[in-house]
Amino acid sequence: MEASISDNSLKLDEALKGATGYQSWEQMLELKIAGHTKEQCAAIDKLLNSEVVAVARSNDGKRIVLGSSYLGLQFEITHTTGAKGSDRREWTLKAKQDGYMFGYCLLADSVTLPGVVAGATV
């Protein structure tokens, strides 16, 4: 699944946790998607009870991989319609997982991903 996210809403975090010798990395991802369409609802349904590996493009153009095939990220999903007509109508997706032996990783520019258009916002 590929998503266009709301401006300035992508946030990636990593944290090394635990005592020396027992440390592991926690990876966190948060993003917002504007709107509330039938297509968005169908895409969100695909994330329910699923683990994912996410590839995000940072504002400097670097692609960052979060999660892994053996320990994927799981999203907490909320949607708001706002109280007034001028309020934002948006989805908020937050994912967090710990127990990794690595932080998030930069993907080399030479790596291509099947189904992802080059230069697209991920």
Task: Tell me the pLDDT tens digit for each residue of 27-78.
Answer: 999 999 988 899 999 999 999 999 999 998 887 888 999 999 999 999 999 9
pLDDT the model gives residue 117: 53
Using alpha carbons only, give the angle 26, 32, 38 rounded to the nearest 5 degrees: 125
pLDDT the model gives residue 4: 72
Residue from 27, 111, 24, 19 nearest 67 by CA: 27
Asked if the structure places residue 121 within a domain, the reply is no
Asked if the structure places residue 101 within a domain, the reply is yes
Residue 13 tokens read as 């975090």
Residue from 40, 30, 71 nearest 53 by CA: 71
Asked if the structure places residue 66 within a domain, the reply is yes
- In the predicted structure, residue 16 carries a pLDDT above the cut 90: yes
pLDDT band per the 50, 70, 90 thresholds, residue 14: very high
Asked if the structure places residue 50 within a domain, the reply is yes
| Tally of structural domains, the chain | 1
Residue from 42, 73, 44, 71 nearest 56 by CA: 73
Asked if the structure places residue 23 within a domain, the reply is yes
pLDDT the model gives residue 110: 87
Could you tell me the residue range of the domain that residue 77 belongs to? 10-107
pTM more than 0.85: no
